[in-house]
Structure formats: structure tokens, C-alpha cells
Amino acid sequence: MLNQENLAYEYALGLLTKAEKEAVELTPEFLAEVSKIQLQLSALQLQAPLDTNKSKQIWGNISQQIKADQSTWQETLSARFRMWLYVLPAIFLAFGSLMLFEETASVSDPYSMAIINAKVGWEVNADVENHKLSIASVNPMLVGKNEVCALWVQKDGVIQLISTLPNSGNKIVNISPKIASMLEGGEAIISIETSNQPMNKPTRIEYQNQLS
Amino acid sequence: MEKNLEFYFTQLQENKTQRNFKQVYKLSSVRLFGVILRILKKKELSEDCLQEVYIKIWNRVDTYNSEKANMMTWMSTIARNHAIDYVRKHELPIQDDFELSIIKDEQVHFLDNLEANDTNKQLHDCLGQLKEDSKNAVFMAYFNGLTYDNIAKTIGSPVSTIKTWVARSLPILKKCLENVHA
């Protein structure tokens, strides 16, 4: 086998480390070869033993996330349209006075409790009763390559990591009953963490807010 | 037309509704969960990853081309790649609790499944040509998402030895896979 073909197999099999993968020149021909091998290898994958023991909640989460993605897309469009309704009169009035306006963030149903306001960069709402959290990335904080924003809750001196925050799109997270109880009257915290380090407590706190 | 995965997947491509997607999920999620669980090992993480995989499938359903691959093959490739990215992105210590005995059991089940299916008997016989060590290394990489370094640590042999095993097994593997798809 040619070296390049060997490399494509190693790449497709997942044998290379991240650093080794980064060193590979990803030409369109190479990627096409990898893709072909991956599809061939999938024949093996589909013959592997099955595991049926998974939570029935997963479909509910997927369904909600798709709905949230669709509503965010629609809200973005309507928000842009709304913006012009404000901006155009403001341009006319700007000669006489300075007009300050603020776009208010919406809290989407059916989530009952707003944890983070969209102005912070994410819109986070909790369905406390069903132990679910909806996270929508609106205008996330810029972080370094190996950094990630993390959401925490703090109550009565106890601090718990809830989830990392996505750079784009939406995410539905199942939360434990303990975290759900901490959200009521607790404090929401957003911190910047190094993605390859264990997250035991917030490292660089960027935002704190008392929850009602 | 029989209302199988192919039927609902085609319906989904024509009419992208949650109802059609739910049927696709019902008919494919067990297999995809198996693909992910073999790599992530932990049920909760695998469920989280499975959720992300189906969102990815939903977003990419328009790009699926039936001339290039079977839909299940296409979805399982997405699942496996996403699971490997998930491990590496989250720097999960998955490999710490990896036991060689697990891969051997999985291999036995896997090969049994292949043998039980007449159409795959050829692949089973072909894979039988691989030497035990090489087969272990290839299976660990593919089914469990282990890199050369991880396999070397698990088996307790130098990386260079693993690379030699894999290099020897690749021409056989290539021949086996090409015959299956011929």
C-alpha cells in the first residue's frame, strides 16, 4: 500500500492523535479517500452488538432542541426587523436629541425560569419541574482556542457546574434534582475555563447574577 | 412500500418534519447508541453525545446522497466521528478504565454477528486472516476510538510495535472491505 493510502486508513480508523492529525495535509483527494474508507468501515460498525439500554428522555431533548433552533432562527429574523423599526426613527431624531434604546430579551416558553439573559451572550432558561435547561447561544463571549465558557450555580456555599456553554446553536441539558433546587434562590455564574482541565470550581469569573 | 428506515428517511428528505425524524430516530438510535457507547463507555455521556449526533443528522439530512452510501452507514459514520470528537474535545479520561478483555468479548460478538449473516460470511472469513494482535489493534481503534498511544498503553507494547501490526493488517483489511462492497 502507498504511504498516502496507509495514512488515509490510519486517519479513518482514528489511530492518529490530535497533533498527528493536524500535521496531515488535508487535500480534497485525501479527504475523499478518508471518506470512502470510513463508509466502508461502517459496514463493520453496523454488525457490532446492539445496546438498547438508553434513556427514553433523549428523543424529548432532541425534539425540544430542534424546536428551539427553529424559534431562535425565527426570533433572529424578527429581531433584525424590529431593530430597523427602532433604528430608522432614531436616525431622524438623532439631530435633536440622543435617543437611547435597548432591545429587551425574550424569555421563551415553555421554560419557566430565566437563568441568563440574552444580553450576557446566552439565553438560558430552566424547566425546574422537568429538570431541563435550555441554552441558546445569542452572542457568546470570545474565548481562546483551548478555553470554554462554563455555567455554574452557587447556593449556601455549595457550587456546582451545570454545563459548558456552546459557541453557537442551542443545547438542551438534563439537570439533576440537586441542581434544580439550587437554581431557586441561588446565584448563576459564568466563568472562562481551560477546556482540557478538570472543572471543579470557576477559574475566571466573568458574570454573576442572583436568581430569584 | 414497507415502512422501514429507508421509507422514513426518504420521507424526511422530502418533508423535513419532526414526525418523520422521530420514526428515523426510533429505527436507528439503538444502533447509533451502540456505536457511541463503545467509544465513550459511559452511558450518560453517550446519551448526551447521541442527542448531539441526531441534531447533526437533522441539520445535514439534505446533504445525504443515497448513491454514495446506505443511510445507516452514513448515520453511523456521523455518530462514530462525533463520538471521537466528543472524547477529544472534552479530554475525557475514557481510556483509563479500558480493559483488554472488553474488546475481546466485543470481537467475539461482532464476529458471531458477521458469521450469522450469510452476506457477511465473506467479510468474517476475510477478517479471520488478520493476526490476533493486529486485529485487536484495529478493533480498538475503530470500535473504541483509541489512538496508537492509547493502544500501546493498553496492551503494554511500544507505539512502534503497534504501528507495525497495523501496517501489516491494513492491506488485508482493505482487501476485505473492498470485496464486501464489490
Read off the pLDDT of residues B92-121 as tens digits, 9 standing for 90 and up: 654 444 455 555 555 556 666 655 566 567
- Give pLDDT tens digits for B61-74: 998 888 777 788 78
Distances B87 to A18, A29, A144, B37 between C-alpha atoms, Å: 11, 27, 20, 11
- Average of per-residue pLDDT across A66-85: 64
Residues of chain A that touch chain B, judged by Cβ-Cβ distance less than 8 Å: 1, 5-6, 9-10, 13-18, 20, 37-55, 58-59, 61-63, 65-67, 69, 169, 172, 195-196
Query: How would residue A79 be classed by pLDDT, with cut points 50, 70 and 90?
Result: low
Judge: A58–B29 Cβ closer than 8 Å, yes or no.
yes
- Structure confidence at residue A102 (pLDDT): 40
Average pLDDT, rounded, for chain B: 80
Judge: B51–A61 Cβ closer than 8 Å, yes or no.
yes
Q: Where are the domains of chain B?
A: 5-89, 98-180
Option in B46, B145, B177 nearest A43 (CB) = B177
User: Is a pLDDT exceeding 90 seen at residue B22?
Assistant: yes
Query: How would residue A100 be classed by pLDDT, with cut points 50, 70 and 90?
Result: very low
- Structure confidence at residue B4 (pLDDT): 86
Amino acid found at A83: M
State whether residue B140 sits within 8 Å of chain A by CB.
no
User: How many Å apart are CA A67 and CA A61, to the nearest integer?
Assistant: 10
User: Is a pLDDT exceeding 90 seen at residue B53?
Assistant: yes
Judge: B51–A65 Cβ closer than 8 Å, yes or no.
yes
Option in B51, B81, B166 nearest A15 (CB) = B166
- Structure confidence at residue A89 (pLDDT): 65
User: Is a pLDDT exceeding 90 seen at residue A150?
Assistant: no
Alpha helix locations (H) across chain B? 5-14, 18-40, 43-60, 71-89, 100-116, 121-127, 132-144, 148-155, 159-180
Judge: A66–B142 Cβ closer than 8 Å, yes or no.
no
DSSP A34-102: HHHHHHHHHHHHTTSPP-----THHHHHHHHHHHHHHHHHHHHHHHHHHHHHHHHHHHHHTTT------
Judge: B113–A47 Cβ closer than 8 Å, yes or no.
yes
- Structure confidence at residue B138 (pLDDT): 84
Give pTM, 2 decimals: 0.56
Architecture of the structural domain at B98-180: Orthogonal Bundle (1.10)
- Structure confidence at residue B126 (pLDDT): 79
Judge: A14–B30 Cβ closer than 8 Å, yes or no.
no
Percent of all residues in chain B with a pLDDT value above 90, rounded to a whole number: 20
Q: Which residues of chain B lie closer than 8 angstroms to A48, CB-CB? A: 34-35, 38, 106, 109-110, 113, 143
The answer to which of A81-90, B134-143, B147-156 has the lowest mean pLDDT is A81-90
Architecture of the structural domain at B5-89: Orthogonal Bundle (1.10)
Query: How would residue A107 be classed by pLDDT, with cut points 50, 70 and 90?
Result: very low
